[in-house]
Chains A and B, each alone.
Chain A
Amino acid sequence: MAHFEKANSLNEWLDQRLAVNTLRRVLAKEYWIPKDINFLWAMGMVLAVTFGILLVSGIFLLMYYQPNVATAFDSVNYTIMQEVEFGWLWRHVHAVAASVVFLIIYIHMFTGIYYGSYKKGREMIWISGMLLFVAFSAEAFSGYMLPWGQMSYWAGMVITNLFSLGSLEVNSLVEWIRGDYVPAQAFLDRFFMLHVLLIPLAILALIGIHFGALRIPHVNNQKGEEIDFKVEAEKYKAGNKAASKVIAFANDFMSKDMFVVAVYLLFFFYLVFWHFNFAMDPVNFDPADGLVTPAHIYPEWYFLWSYEILRPFSKDIGLIAFGFAQVIFFLLPFLDRSPNAVPASRRGAFMLWFWIMVVDMIVLTAMGKLPPEGIFSTIGLVAAVVFIALWVALPFITKLEKKC
């Protein structure tokens, strides 16, 4: 057995058994962050905090929610909302966080795209981040099912129907996923399991990988400058903090991170207390009914852009376009052929690409919410084609980019 000395403090006692000092050093005190980054780099921390909020509020909802087609609706809309003290709070916190988390994810993603933070050794950060996006999407979708309202039911119907793979008509696969011919008890039970256990586990694992992927390439910075972290860290450790281009994650950078988190939380709780309705679809306050479709089915705002890419085309082409939209972001590090990991503003045509992409996705989002008629379908179709064209053009315009 290893040799143990008598410990003089709790810290020392723990250090001998858990190496807490080494952990603190590696994870916080000597984890180096470039000085030259702005508040957009705090979105990772904002996301981590939001995930924590989702976890805690989810646990409180879980204690009263009943995954049964006969009682699910009332357990949410009556028991939790009316009977459980502060039940409304957990529900509104959970719903608002589930919606806002996507806003932050999109900001986080587009920050990464703008500053080229997916390139040159940072590919795994990007890919693990995209996997997190997919896991969060699955988590959001499965959670949306649980109140068993009209939108839940029909969203479940429409999304699982996608797995019949268009004209291939693989209905047995759809029935297998549902465990029934239509969304019913088996469906609710298994999506409940996915929502409270399997997907959160996957998310936790992916967060670990995402953080781990940062350790070696380190985070990018505002100018895209290549920093020698070893040299800069030595300066910092020698006490020359002003000259060093890096600072320690804790407590130096954390203070800035947490400031952003504090501002965010003010905004977040403002939404929870005064504007929670945006995260609740009115149609979902009708109990699920397999014999009545709501007049107009649309997903939550964060899925609208990819929904709109599916919608204007015929069934099979729509499905292919939709699949394209889901996977194409994964390939970004490989489709961008320029080695410049600098802000888009210094990259010429890429800057145009970036802003057209942002605007196009906003247009797709707006069209996805509007009924699919007349001019809206046309705009939606154009926007969907532009989206695809942008990705096709990306390798060419980035290839032509000069090294800067």
Chain B
Amino acid sequence: MNQTRRGFMGKAFGAVAGVGAVGALYAMKKSWDPLPSVKAAGFTTIDVSACVANKLIVEKWRGKPIFVLKKTAEMVASQNEEQAARDIVVGDDHFMIAIGLCTHLGCIPAYREDKKDFKCACHGGEFDFAGIDTLAPPPSPLVIPPFKITGNSVVLGEEGPEYKKMKESGVIA
């Protein structure tokens, strides 16, 4: 058989296989993406009016624990600028709201009411009551989820103006 014809067939096959492989890989990648139903369930409303100061409440959003901590008057007064910048203010109350997963490897830190801080049992990391990391290994503060304040409630999963402001000022990376 004519060699150039054989060469052409080889190249043609290569081209078809190449296109097919790229398409298949794309489909495989997309198949592993979170399903629409998973994404759609990504909103949670938390009513914070019943919160008691210095008592941690754990809610659930996207399967993750959410820490809601109402700060006492002294806590608010004692805050430095960095800590205050992370306050979420609903009405007159100041809250720390953050995803309750250690930024090291994702364990749930425990709140110590007496010391007013969080201790992560997994590798010994610590966070203060504003969620800022104070003892390694965690490399960064607890993550503040996208939120929107409506009346006495906080809706998680939606970016409200307060959240956007925090983002602009660099409080949220």
**Chain A residues engaging chain B, CB cutoff 8 angstroms:** 154, 157-158, 161-162, 166-167, 169, 175-182, 184, 186, 190, 290-293, 295-297, 311, 313-316, 318, 372-373, 377
Contacts and interface: CB of A to CB of B under 8 A. Distances in A.
Nearest to B103: A315
Looking at B64, B105, B108, B138, the one whose CB has the most chain A CB atoms below 10 A away is: B105
B108 A291 contact: yes
B38 A292 contact: no
Interface string B135-161: 011111000000000000000000000
A179 B58 contact: no
B42 A186 contact: no
Nearest to A297: B122
A319 to B, nearest CB: 10
Majority SS of interface residues in chain B? loop
B124 A373 contact: yes
B38 A180 contact: yes
A133 to B, nearest CB: 23
Interface string B110-140: 0000000000011110000000000011111
B65 A291 contact: yes
A169 to B, nearest CB: 8
Contact of B60 (A178, A290, A295, A377): A290
A311 B123 contact: yes
Looking at A162, A181, A313, the one whose CB has the most chain B CB atoms below 10 A away is: A181
A148 to B, nearest CB: 14
A313 B58 CA distance: 29
Given A290-B60, A295-B121, A315 B34 contact: no
A373 B35 CA distance: 41
Nearest to B63: A182
Given A184-B38, A186-B38, A296 B121 contact: yes
B107 A158 contact: yes
B142 to A, nearest CB: 14
11 contacts: A154-B107, A167-B139, A179-B34, A180-B62, A181-B63, A186-B38, A290-B64, A290-B65, A293-B121, A293-B122, A315-B137
B137 A186 contact: no
